[in-house]
Amino acid sequence: MRVVLVGNPNVGKSAVFFRLTGAKVLTSNYPGTTVEFAKGVLIKNSERVDIIDAPGAYSIEPTNKAEEVTVRLLKEAAIVVNVIDATNLERNLYLTLQLIKQQCKLLVVLNMWDETKHKGIDIDIDKLQNLLGVPVVHSCGLSGEGIKDIALKLNQAKVSSLNLEGRDLWEIIGEITSSVQTLHHKHHSFRDVMEEITIHPFTGIPFSVVVLGLCFLVVRFIGESLIHFALDPFFENIYKPFLWRLNELIHWEFLRNILIGGLINENIEFMQSLGVLSTGIYVPIAVVFPYVLSFYFVLGLLEDFGYLPRLSVLMDNVMHKLGLHGVSVIPFILSLGCNVPGVLASRVLESRRERFILATLTAISIPCMAQISMIVGVLGKYGLRYILMVFGTLFLVWFSLGVILNKFIRGESPEILMEIPPYRKINLYVLFRKLWIRISGFIKEAVPLVLLGVFMTNLLFSLGVLKVLGIIVAPVVTFIWGLPEKAILALLVGFLRKDVAVGMLGPLGLSPKQLVVGCTILAIYFPCMGTFSVLLKELGLKDMCKSLAIMLIVAILVGGLLNLIIK
């Protein structure tokens, strides 16, 4: 049996889905968290029920790629569970009535039931059930309340006998809500005040500056504290002596080189030795992980409270210059964690043109957290100004390339039309569960690739493959970018993992200027493997090739310019 969860964006479908199946899905407080469907299994009386979490949709006539997915899923559903935001029946019932009209076998779930009390809303469920002609249950996805009822009543889902032909759906909704819903007066709460502050530009803009500044400080504080007080002491005092012991035990030099790497001034240098067990372990665990953890913690807070949509509205103007609209702020922010979910999130945009611009700009000029932390790690000792040069350049590339693409790509971009959800209380369990999903994903996917990257680097070094490649691309690398031939290796490894690639610049003995050029072009020139595959999936072969061509051209130009400008 196949059950599909369908509902408006941001009504908590994924939270209900997680409670029903235990599957690892992310939940947030903004429309468009789920852009792809997720599958899970519910075992009911030893019968297997496949449950599918569909992207949010306002209607069964799709207006973007995420909604298209939902409409396709609907066609294959045996039972449709329509999840509704109980605090906003007026808008949510539109989709419900469309589903009734489509003769879907339907069960309606009034989610966020706990919020109705806070908002002074009373809903007569029995009456609603009678009017709709399908079973209605209530639930709270975040706490898990009422989820059992959904599972129990799945079998009672039925096709409504309500006849809607030729009637205005919004009119019927008016009739239904006025007869089942009673509104009470409620007092202004802290969240209402916040809503007022952040929606008006004069208070909202300064507020956003403060919020983003705070986020930056908190990410840095948590990341640095983890490194200084926990990870560095561990690696220096416990792990390094262990590596020395291992170093003494291994007599075969080739293996020693692969595992421990080269000694720098008679010492194992975690950032430079390039051994699988030295640099390969240190980079993902002690340099990248702390910042990935702190970034996703802060991102989770912003997502769950509901701040991101307000940022979208405030940034709408800027995004228009890039041929996008405010909603694209969310994919860009996600990309700072990792480009892969960022590019996927482009599905909430309406036009192909916007998706192309967003994906290209992301892959070129938004470095992921792993890369950011390595750039800081490699350049940090030379001073803040070099770090700023890299990020400043990327920012300029982001903006100017956006303006150029907007000018030269045919067509027009649609305007913003977005629902702004209310602020919601942050549920710590949900917040930390999400953090865990993201962090365990990072460890499972990134660490093996980093190890592989370091291993390959070592191998390529030993096998002399570099010399051949060196002759081919030397003109660009040495002449235009002013880097030594060996830097080609970093460009090769960059396809595997960008963080390792940045790390490899360390042992090459580059000047700060060369490091700035190297770090910047590593961000721009080509996507990493993961991003490459989503670009292909989202853009198609032809558009991806266009996007890649832009990347290479921009990398050559920007690298060359930096090489000329920086002294």
Q: Which is nearer to another protein, 148 or 321 (CB)?
A: 321
- Min dist. Cβ of residue 27 to another protein (A): 19
User: Cβ distance 38 to 25 under 8 Å?
Assistant: yes
- Cβ partners under 8 Å of residue 177, min gap 6: 89, 90, 93
- Cβ partners under 8 Å of residue 173, min gap 6: 89, 90, 93, 94, 97
Q: Report the interface residues with another protein, using CB under 8 A.
A: 58-59, 61, 63, 87-88, 90-91, 94, 170, 195, 199-201, 204, 309, 312-314, 316-317, 325-326, 414-420, 422
Q: Which is nearer to another protein, 94 or 532 (CB)?
A: 94
- Min dist. Cβ of residue 113 to another protein (A): 16
- Min dist. Cβ of residue 128 to another protein (A): 16
Q: Which is nearer to another protein, 119 or 158 (CB)?
A: 119
Q: Which is nearer to another protein, 152 or 164 (CB)?
A: 164
User: Cβ distance 319 to 328 under 8 Å?
Assistant: yes
Segment (H or E) for 83: strand 79-85
- Min dist. Cβ of residue 344 to another protein (A): 22
DSSP E strands in 104-235: the ranges are: 105-111, 121-123, 136-138, 158-159, 181-183
The Cα angle at residue 303 between residues 41 and 220, in degrees rounded to 5? 120
Tokens of residue 411, six digits: 């067509």
Q: Which is nearer to another protein, 69 or 493 (CB)?
A: 69
Q: Which is nearer to another protein, 28 or 87 (CB)?
A: 87
User: 308-321 and 190-199 helices cross at what angle (nearest 10)?
Assistant: 10
Instruction: List Cα–Cα distances, 210 to 199, 201, 205, 424, in angstroms.
Output: 15, 14, 9, 20
- Min dist. Cβ of residue 334 to another protein (A): 19
Between CA 324 and CA 288 the distance in angstroms is 31
Q: Which is nearer to another protein, 351 or 478 (CB)?
A: 351
Between CA 273 and CA 10 the distance in angstroms is 48
- Min dist. Cβ of residue 315 to another protein (A): 8
- Min dist. Cβ of residue 88 to another protein (A): 5
DSSP 415: P
- Min dist. Cβ of residue 353 to another protein (A): 15
Between CA 558 and CA 365 the distance in angstroms is 11
- Min dist. Cβ of residue 199 to another protein (A): 5
Q: Taking the alpha carbons of 534, 538, 544, 550 in that order, is the dihedral positive or negative?
A: negative
- Cβ partners under 8 Å of residue 220, min gap 6: 294
Q: Which is nearer to another protein, 350 or 543 (CB)?
A: 350
User: Cβ distance 65 to 347 under 8 Å?
Assistant: yes
User: Cβ distance 430 to 304 under 8 Å?
Assistant: yes
Q: Which is nearer to another protein, 168 or 253 (CB)?
A: 168
Chain-centroid distance, C-alpha 527: 16
- Min dist. Cβ of residue 517 to another protein (A): 37
Q: Which is nearer to another protein, 88 or 520 (CB)?
A: 88
